[in-house]
Amino acid sequence: MIDYNSLTDTFEAVWSRLTDAPTNPASPARFLALATVGRSGGAEARMIVLRAADRDQAQLTAFTNAASAKVAELSAMPSATLLVWDPADSLQIRLRSTVTQRPATDADWTRLPPRDHALYARDPLPGTPLDTPTANTPTPDAALFTILTARIDEIETLHLGRDLHRRALFRRADAFRGQWIAP
Amino acid sequence: MIDYNSLTDTFEAVWSRLTDAPTNPASPARFLALATVGRSGGAEARMIVLRAADRDQAQLTAFTNAASAKVAELSAMPSATLLVWDPADSLQIRLRSTVTQRPATDADWTRLPPRDHALYARDPLPGTPLDTPTANTPTPDAALFTILTARIDEIETLHLGRDLHRRALFRRADAFRGQWIAP
């Protein structure tokens, strides 16, 4: 039972969700929203799949296609937010992060389930107009498989309790010690 | 049964979720992510509650505290994205929008459930450090109750089918006619 009046428990609630997600398809942190600054200046957001969570380094890993808009957006502005919403616990987790990218290795490509290879494709590139959705017969290309690493700078939690909303901020610069703030 | 090979059905799937959410707490679009450009240049995101959906105008309504960071962020950059994820149907809905704001009227305030009044408070303002979460005894202030209106410019859907991913773009400039694009 999580005590949401405890900073320690709240921090544990965040990391238990993040470390569980990569191997638990039912985790509320399995799919999380990635918000970026778009190339025309406004904000963009889409769901991504959490592939790995490293608590010691406070880093998260996701996969993407090098030709996707988010790669260009993160190259121009790596300050992004990952957002988790756990409806069962009424817990929101905002992860302000700096996102870097690297091409996947041959070993990364081999570890992918073969049915996922089509996600990293050209012919057509993402965003190309299609006559029908089934007109999409992608050609896998390992060179497009890109690993995103989000270095978490700040974790901000909001717990919507029946009695009270509880908001806390944990900052890397402060060794994620934690501070309550007004909701 | 929604046919995700049909643009018409896909568009209906979007609007049935959006118009259902304000009165259905279990709707996947009840809580949606709002991504904005932060005041220091990176992207921010948080969940908001969808309060009204106007299909004819393609506009959505949410409530916020005038002292919240998102109000300042939207004043500086009104181009934002609202993001819905429906896990039961593996449907992602991205709503690129222009968000305007206005102070609530006395009638708006009176219509609020009284227990929600504390969400629009000063003493303390949002973000103020607190010693404990229970140290927060907010003083409601109707002047802080702010209505956000998101005018949807683009609806982008992504359906993660078992066989195929289907992505479509519906643009206001094109009367939301719809176009398949490569995922």
- Put simply, the answer to whether A41 touches B79 (Cβ < 8 Å) is yes
Assigned CATH topology for domain B7-119+136-181: Pnp Oxidase; Chain A (2.30.110)
**Separation of first and last alpha carbons in chain B:** 22
- Put simply, the answer to whether B80 touches A135 (Cβ < 8 Å) is no
pLDDT band at A142 (very low <50, low <70, confident <90, very high): very high
Residues A39-60 have pLDDT tens digits of: 999 999 999 999 999 999 999 9
Q: Give the pLDDT of residue B50.
A: 98
Contacts of B165 in chain A (CB under 8 A): 119, 136
**pLDDT < 70 regions, chain B:** none
Query: How far off is chain A from B15, nearest CA to CA, in Å?
Result: 18
Evaluated on CA atoms A18, A21, A23, A24, the torsion sign reads positive
Contacts of A123 in chain B (CB under 8 A): none
Alpha-helical (H) ranges within chain B are 7-20, 69-76, 106-111
Q: Domain A7-125+135-181 class?
A: mainly beta
Residues A150-177 have pLDDT tens digits of: 999 999 999 999 888 999 999 999 999 9
The torsion of the CA quartet B166, A94, A26, B50, rounded to 10 degrees, works out to -60
> CA nearest A49: which of A23, A16, A13?
A23
Contacts of A82 in chain B (CB under 8 A): 45
User: How buried is residue A56: exposed, middle or buried, by Cβ count under 10 Å (0-12/13-18/19+)?
Assistant: exposed
pTM of the prediction? 0.97
Q: Give the pLDDT of residue B137.
A: 79
> Looking at per-residue confidence, does A29 or B163 come out higher?
A29
